[in-house]
Structure formats: C-alpha cells, structure tokens
Amino acid sequence: MTSYPASTSIVIDDVTKEFTLRYHRTLKQMSVALMKGRDISDTFRALEDVSFTVEQGESIGLMGLNGSGKSTLLKLVQGVMRPDSGKVLTRGRIAGLIATGAGFHPQLNGRDNIYLNAAVLGMTEQETKRKFDEIVEFADIGRFLDSPVGNYSSGMFARLGFSVAIHVDSDIFLADEALAVGDRPFRRKCMEKMQEVRDSGRTLFYVSHSAGSVRQMCDRVIVLEKGRVGFDGGVNAGIRYLKYDDGKDNESDEVDEAIGNDI
C-alpha cells in the first residue's frame, strides 16, 4: 500500500467515474425502442484516469468548460460519490457548498435546517449551538429563518448553505460556484470568508470560471478537459491554457473590493 506524507491533504489516484444515460423512461418506450433496434441507454465517463495530490493548505482553482467533470470530482472528494476505479483519499474534516440547498429538508424551517445541515457536515449539536448566532448573522435572511426552506429562493438557499458550511471547523473546504446565485454584497462577504479560509491554512478547492477570482484566491490551477486533467500548474499559466479573458470581470472587481487587492 502506498503511504503519503502527513502534509498530504487529498490524493486522487487514477480515478474514473462513469454514468449511465437512459434515453427512454417508460417500459413501453423501452420495448418499442428495443423492437426497432435502438439504444435504450449509453454510458459516458465523467472522469477518466484522473490523478493528482494536494498538500495541506494549498488553494486549488478547479477550472474547465461546463461538463468537464469538475462537480463530479468535488463530489468524489466530499465522499457523496465513489469512483468506479481508482481511489480518493482525504485527510481531516471536509466542508463546503457544492450544490445549492444540498442537505436541506424543504419542510423544515431555516433554524432547524441549520442544525440538520451542520450535522451532515460533521458538526456536533454543541458546536452548532456555539456558532448558531454567527451563522444566522452571516446568512442574513431575516424573518425567513423561521419559514420552511422549501419556500426559499435559490439565493436564500445559497446564503444559508454557505453560511453553515463556512462556519464548520474543517481541514478541506469545497466551493462549486454556488456563490454566483447570491447578490453582489453577499458575494463580497463570501469572498472575504473564502480569503479567511485560505489564510487559515485550510485546503481550498474552488471551482470558478472567473480568471480574476482564481488569481486572487488560488495558488494552483487544475484544468479538466472532458474528464481528464489537461493542465496542472501555476495560476496564470492555467488561465492562459484555457484562453480565458485576461481583463477584469464583475466577479474579479468584487474580489478586489472584498480583500483590498489590485490585479
């Protein structure tokens, strides 16, 4: 068995993940398709032979076009999926927001969902009680805290979900562009918190299409292309590899304002 240094935070070793696409839903549709010699399903590889390691405290910008496998990879790191082959190893507690509203019960109110979501992320009830006021203050959803989350907008989901996740005492933090559904002041506040995560020495895995925010938040870029690692290296080189616009965009402006730096 391969051993890894204590400083290694994440190991992705020759990982492949397949999904099945079904073209017909009902039994009748499937029967007709089979009689006509048509395919009723197909498989595709969301990830294929992906390998890399991450050291504790690294800030990784995970980039690539839509459908390149970024979200699948984060779900494997978080442990909500398992690879079909290869191995995924992580060290320490993992927190993060990789899907808006993940871990919420739509019939429970925001207050109860804070405790539920925190438990899913590994927090004890005592930890949640201690941080409850901070979570509520950061989410800033006002009187909707006592309303069922099934009535929340996507922005409110993002506020509450991110607030719970960012207050978990984790070793690895994952974020998959769910912040994009929040309004501008909330995104600024999120980026400030993300900067605190980076500065605290935690491992950061940050999916973003914004060259500006990746430059500010990350010290390494991994680019996925059709499920494979196309690039793994420096931030500026990774952005050039993707041929992303080097000019400022709205998100990078907000990052600058949030953390007080100039590009």
pLDDT digits (tens, 9 = 90+) for 148-194: 998 888 788 888 888 998 999 999 999 876 555 567 788 888 888 88
Chain CA centroid to CA 170, Å: 14
Say which CATH architecture domain 96-170 belongs to.
Orthogonal Bundle (1.10)
pLDDT exceeds 70 at position 77: yes
pLDDT digits (tens, 9 = 90+) for 128-153: 999 999 999 999 998 999 999 988 88
- Please, which residues have CB within 8 angstroms of residue 237's CB and are 6 or more apart in sequence? 221, 231
Domains 1-29+43-92+172-182+201-255 and 96-170 share a fold: no
Q: Where are the domains of the chain?
A: 1-29+43-92+172-182+201-255, 96-170
Tell me the C-alpha distance between 42 and 51, whole Å. Answer: 25
The superfamily (CATH) of domain 1-29+43-92+172-182+201-255 is P-loop containing nucleotide triphosphate hydrolases (3.40.50.300)
Amino acid at 225: E
Tell me the C-alpha distance between 158 and 109, whole Å. Answer: 15
Q: What is the pLDDT of residue 99?
A: 63
Region 209-217: what's the mean pLDDT?
A: 88
On the 0-12 / 13-18 / 19+ scale of CB atoms within 10 A, 3 is exposed
Q: What is the pLDDT of residue 155?
A: 80
pLDDT exceeds 90 at position 11: yes
Q: What is the pLDDT of residue 243?
A: 84
pLDDT band at 37; cut points 50, 70, 90: low
Over its C-alpha atoms, the chain yields an Rg (Å, rounded) of 20
From 66, 133, 122, select the one nearest 90 (Cα to Cα).
122
Tell me the C-alpha distance between 183 and 181, whole Å. Answer: 7
